[in-house]
Structure 1
Amino acid sequence: MSTTKQLAETYKNSKYQVPGHGPRNIHVLQNALAELDGNLESDIYGKGQVIEEFEKKLAAILGKETAVFFPSGTMAQQIALRIWCDQKSVKKVAYHPLSHLEIHEEDGLKKLHLIESVLLADKTRLIRLEDVKNMDTDVACLLLELPQREIGGELPEYEELVAISEFCREKEIKLQLDGARLFEVLPYYQKSAAEICQLFDSIYVSFYKGIGGLAGSILAGDEEFTKEAKVWKRRHGGDLISLYPYILSADYYFEQRKNRFPQYYEQAKELASFYNGCHGITTRPVVPVSNMFHVHLPFPKETLEPVFQAVYEQAGVGLAMALHAVDEASCYFEVSVGDNYGGIPKEALQHAFRVLDEKMKEV
């Protein structure tokens, strides 16, 4: 067995796992459905009480006229950008070079919709107001991801968001929020979801990341926008005969966790301080701005996999299921704090980091 697989197995078998809400097994769905009336009627091809009430609920929370439930965020965001491009008759959109659309979707936006991407900033930093002002081509829409996951979950300051929003409205550029982790950033901004979303013309939110549902997403905007989104959802095959397992689990875990994100945020800052106290280890950001951050290690992945496995075996605490190579000399992993963290005894956690620190010094 490779060291990568050994690390994953040891992580799964450790008494405590630090990140996330727990295993993604069928209990995620069973728990959500356990107390529901079995006679509740399912949605059918995008219609029915189950889906329509959830869409209205989320539209109100996000401060938008209407919302549409999608089985995936990939589908939702491509459709949002297509709508804005068609409206302006401009087949260009701008976003970060490490946007999900650019690196994880097999060029779906380009191949399916013939939309060209304009990449702003670079892979090491956030999009700034000056990047938007200095675009040398006309675009239909600017997409901003909050937080910017691939660089550790960094965030612009709220004042800069406001300035970007005002500039886009002045220049008639639509602003789309990749808010896959929208609720995770509210504690840092000290704003409501609606206050953040009022800066944007359309919003996508995921229900399986920090919220921990089965799958699914919401796309919200004004009535004209969502009416068109429903047409494109049908064209993309997103109107399954029933989506209720995703909707009901999204609603269940949203209600269960919507008020816990301030707690996750404070715990993430504590956890990052533990990592930064270990020899050679740094986090990005040093002080997290949400419940997620990246942990960077100045040694090759292959060198550190046995080290982390030994920590898990000795301390009984799993820190990460996998390490990812940055280059030949360094690696990193991502951390998202959820329900798991609060269930770990402090002495067990502190012991794990003492062991990690010792073993990093040995390396």
Structure 2
Amino acid sequence: MAANYRILEAFNRTRYQLTGHGKRNVQVLKEAFELLEGSLDSDIYGNGNIIEDFQNRLAEILGKESAVFFPSGTMAQQIALRIWSDRKVLHKVAYHPLSHLEIHEKDGLKELHHIQPILIADKDRPVVLDDVLNLKEDISCLLLELPQREIGGQLPAYEDLEAISAYCRGKGIKLHLDGARLLEVCPYYEKSPAEICRLFDSVYISFYKGIGAIAGAILAGETSFTEESKVWKRRHGGDLISLYPYIVSADYYMDLRLPRMKQYYEDAKELAQLYNQCEAVTTRPPVPVSNMFHVHVRLPRDKMEAILVGIYEATDIGFTSHLRVVDEESCYFEVSIGDQYGCIPSDQIAHAFQQLRKEIAACQ
């Protein structure tokens, strides 16, 4: 932890940072509220124009009958899987071994909803049609994450998605989309959000990842599904008296950043190419399929940290704030492109990578 604290401090001191939209501070909220009239009414327990208009807007973007705003994606997705499981009276769902529900939610699905996860596919790749065809157990719902964050944001082929969707509908299996970063993959698939979502019975998207709002999520589907989700939202304590700070920031940054997703994707491919030109460095995937990817380095974490901190201090450019250990001889970090990358002079980026190549080569 001390090592990562050191790199975090050095990263925060840099003038330019290759990832993200900038610091998550009060200014994020102040900017979203700046042009709003002070007399604008808040929502009250899920009702009011400010929340209803936003939900209707997102339902239209996603091509679904209706949508519900949730304070968190963890809450929204557990509720979605609970609804589909109850309707089929079958409390088994399938998803990838590195799904957020499996590795980041403290067994919430099992402990709160008594739903049994069936893990499918290898850890190192996305779910494909053969994985679904080879399921040995009956399930009520299949969850697919697009992109699969824990393996660098990899994606299945769109044709595979279509085939999985058709198979699930034929078998009466509900298909749920963990679309936390759905908007970020549309440029790669060359599809609108609605075109992708038509393959799924329900969909969740996040507002604090690629969009960069303060928090919040949308769960969308047919009206009977979303109305039932509102009941579970109340049971989970998600019906705060007002959610308008989350909604205002989500609405503002959707307008600002949704049109920029293609540029983030192009920037990610450019940046990945720079990393792949460094000795002992590879990106996963080799060519990004969204604005995110992982950078793997064949050096111990402590050695890589020392290199990066030195480069940060010499160039005023930060690559990452955190390194994760793969084993004693290698480490990796996640890259997620946002507004900041395009603000950095290209000659300074080139100089920083020249230093990175030099320092890594010296360690080989």
Aligned to 2:2: 2
1:58 counterpart SS class: helix
> 2:52: which partner in 1?
52
**Could you list the per-position Cα deviations for residues 192-242 of structure 1 after superposition, in whole angstroms to 9, with x for gaps in the alignment?**
000000000000000000000000000000010001000000000000000
For residue 16 of structure 1, what is the aligned residue in structure 2?
A: 16
Secondary structure at 1:258 match in 2: helix
Match of 1:311 in 2: 311
Alpha-carbon deviation of 1:108?
0.2
After TM superposition, the structure 1 = structure 2 runs for residues 186-225 of structure 1, keeping only pairs within 5 Å, are 186-225=186-225
For the pair 1:227 / 2:227, whether they are aligned, the reply is yes
Distance 1:224 1:33 in 2: 33
What whole-Å deviation, never above 9, does each CA across 1:316-341 have from its counterpart, x for those lacking one?
Answer: 10000010011222110000000000
- Which secondary structure does the structure 1 equivalent of 2:203 belong to? strand
Query: What is the Cα deviation at residue 3 of structure 1?
Result: 3.1
Give the AA of the match of 1:188. Y
Cα deviations by residue, 1:123-156 (Å, 9 ceiling, x for unpaired): 1111110110110100000000000000000001
8 Å contact kept, 1:202–1:219: yes
2:97 is the alignment partner of 1:113: no
How big is the shift at 1:304? 1.1
**How far apart in 2 are the matches of 1:351 and 1:278?**
13
Give, in angstroms, the shift of residue 169 of structure 1. 0.2
SS of the counterpart of 1:339?
A: coil
Decide which moves more: 308-317 or 85-94: 308-317
SS at match of 2:228: helix
* Count of aligned pairs between the two proteins: 363
Q: Quote the Cα distance in structure 2 between the aligned partners of 1:315 and 1:248.
A: 37
Cα distance in 2 between the residues matched to 1:328 and 1:230? 47
Query: Which deviates the most, 51-60 or 1-10?
Result: 1-10
- Aligned residue for 1:296? 296
- 2:40 is matched with 40
Match of 2:237 in 1: 237
Deviations 1:254-298 (A, max 9, x none): 000111000000000000000001111000011000000000011
* 2:81 matches 1:91: no
Matched to 1:209, the amino acid is: K
Structure 2 residue matching 1:227: 3-state secondary structure: helix
> Within the alignment, does 1:130 sit opposite 2:130 as a pair?
yes
> Does residue 177 of structure 1 match 2:177?
yes
1:2 Cα deviation from its structure 2 partner: 3.3
Deviation at 1:5, TM superposition (A): 1.6
Question: Which residue in the other structure is 2:63 paired with?
Answer: 63
Query: Aligned Cα RMSD in Å?
Result: 0.8
Structure 2 residue runs without a partner (length 5+): none
Alpha-carbon distance in 1 for matches of 2:2, 2:294: 24
3-state secondary structure, aligned to 2:138: coil
Which residue type is aligned with residue 277 of structure 1? Q
Distance 1:42 1:137 in 2: 46
In 2: Cα distance, 1:266 partner to 1:304 partner = 27
Return the alpha-carbon distance in structure 1 between the equivalents of residues 319 and 250 of structure 2: 26
Distance 2:88 2:3 in 1: 52
CA positional deviation for 1:6: 1.7
Q: CA deviation at 1:7?
A: 1.1
Partner Cα separation in structure 2 for residue 230 and residue 3 of structure 1:
44
Tell me the distance in 2 between the aligned counterparts of 1:4 and 1:165.
42
Q: C-alpha distance in 2, partners of 1:244/1:132? A: 40
Q: Distance in 2 between matches of 1:94 and 1:300?
A: 35
Counterpart residue type for residue 4 of structure 2: T
Counterpart of 2:277 in structure 1: which amino acid?
Answer: G
Tell me, yes or no, if structure 1 residue 80 matches structure 2 residue 80: yes
Rounded to whole Å, the distance in 1 between the matches of 2:189 and 2:173 is 24
User: Which amino acid in the other structure matches residue 6 of structure 2?
Assistant: Q
- Confirm or deny: 8 A CA contact 1:3 1:306 kept in the other structure: no
The SS at the match of 1:290 is coil
Distance 1:123 1:328 in 2: 20
CA contact (8 A) 1:17 1:319 kept: yes
Could you tell me how far apart the structure 1 residues matched to 2:188 and 2:4 are? 34
Aligned to 1:263: 263
Length-normalised TM-score, structure 1: 0.99
